[in-house]
């Protein structure tokens, strides 16, 4: 298992300390039984994405969030270059 350790934001204007977050990416989505339709699958991914984004945005320094978003968009940009 790979472990990544990074910095969390400093408490500047926050009224309470920035909580540390541990993200566990270890469970696989079962082939069947979790989602019975494409809409349920979409909702599952949306729920998971929201929770992950919420944890990252509330914990990481703003500059790290910006760099992460830029890196993620750069890696996905090839999808936009392929004519459909």
pLDDT tens-digit readout, 25-56: 998 877 766 677 888 888 888 999 999 999 99
Q: Count CB neighbours of 60 within 10 A.
A: 19
Beta-carbon-side half-sphere exposure of residue 16 (alpha carbons within 13 Å): 4
- Are 17 and 8 spatial neighbours (Cβ–Cβ below 8 Å)? no
Say whether pLDDT at 84 is over 70. no
Instruction: State the pLDDT at residue 79.
Output: 66
Q: What pTM was computed for the model?
A: 0.76
φ, ψ at 9 (rounded to 5°) = -65, 155
Give the residue extent of every domain in the chain.
38-81
Instruction: State the pLDDT at residue 67.
Output: 97
- Are 55 and 48 spatial neighbours (Cβ–Cβ below 8 Å)? no
Question: Quick one: how far is CA 1 from the chain centroid?
Answer: 18
pLDDT tens-digit readout, 49-70: 999 999 999 999 999 999 999 9
- Are 48 and 25 spatial neighbours (Cβ–Cβ below 8 Å)? no
């Amino acid at each position: 298992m790979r472990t990544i350790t990074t910095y969390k934001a400093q408490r500047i204007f926050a009224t309470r300390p920035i909580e540390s977050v541990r993200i566990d990416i270890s469970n696989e989505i079962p082939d069947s039984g979790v989602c019975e339709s494409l809409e349920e699958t979409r909702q599952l991914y949306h729920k998971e994405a929201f929770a992950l984004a919420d944890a990252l945005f509330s914990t990481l320094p703003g500059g790290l969030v910006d760099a992460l978003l830029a890196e993620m968009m750069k890696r996905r940009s090839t999808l936009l270059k392929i004519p459909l």
